Amino acid sequence: MRFLDFRQGGRARFVALVGVLSLVAVACETGDAQDVLSPAGEFARAPDRLWNLTFGIAVVVFVLVEGILVFTLFRYRFRPDRKASQFHGNTKVEILLTAIPALILAGIAVPTVSTIFDLAEPREGALQIKVIGHQFWWEYQYLDEGFVTANELHIPTNTPVELTVEGGLNDRVTGEAQVIHSFWAPRLAGKQDLIPGHANQLFIEADDPGIYFGQCTEFCGLGHAEMRLRVYAESESDFEQWVSDQKSAPEAPSGGSLAERGQKLFAEGQFREGLNCAACHAVEATPEDVAPNQGPNLAHFAARDTFAGAILKNTEENLKAWIADPASVKPGARMPALGLTESEIDAVVAYLKTLE
What does the DSSP 8-state code read for residue 39? -
Residue 37 touching another protein (CB under 8 A)? yes
Sign of the dihedral through C-alpha 67, 70, 72, 76: negative
Between 216 and 323, name the residue whose CB sits nearer to another protein: 216
Site for another protein in 249-308 (CB under 8 A): none
Among 158, 159, 174, 201, binds another protein (CB under 8 A): 201
Nearest-angstrom CA–CA distance, 172 and 185: 30
Which residue of 128, 173, 219, 236 would you call a contact of another protein, by CB under 8 A?
A: 219
Q: Candidates 88, 172, 288, 342: give the one binding another protein (CB under 8 A).
A: 88
Q: Which of 149, 157, 192, 314 binds another protein (CB under 8 A)?
A: 192
Interface stretch with another protein, choices 75-83, 141-149, 274-282, 297-305 (CB under 8 A): 75-83
The answer for residues whose C-beta is within 8 angstroms of residue 208's C-beta and 6 or more apart is 40, 157, 233
Which C-beta is closer to another protein: that of 2 or that of 241? 2
Neighbours of 27 (CB within 10 A): 9
Question: Residue 270: left (phi > 0), alpha (psi -120 to 50), or beta?
Answer: beta
Q: Which of 108, 267, 321, 337 binds another protein (CB under 8 A)?
A: 108
Min dist CB 265 to another protein, Å, is: 30
3-32 binders of another protein (CB under 8 A) = 4, 6-8, 10, 15, 17-21, 25, 27, 29-32
- Pairing relationship of beta strands 152-156 and 228-234 according to DSSP bridges: parallel
Nearer to another protein, 119 or 275 (CB): 119
b/e per residue, 157-194, with b = 16+ CB within 10 A? bebbbbbbbbbbeebeebebbebbbbbbbbbbbbbbbb
# of chain residues touching another protein (CB under 8 A)? 106
Separation between Cα atoms, residue 14 and residue 23, nearest integer Å: 13
| Residue number with CB closer to another protein (180 or 275) | 180
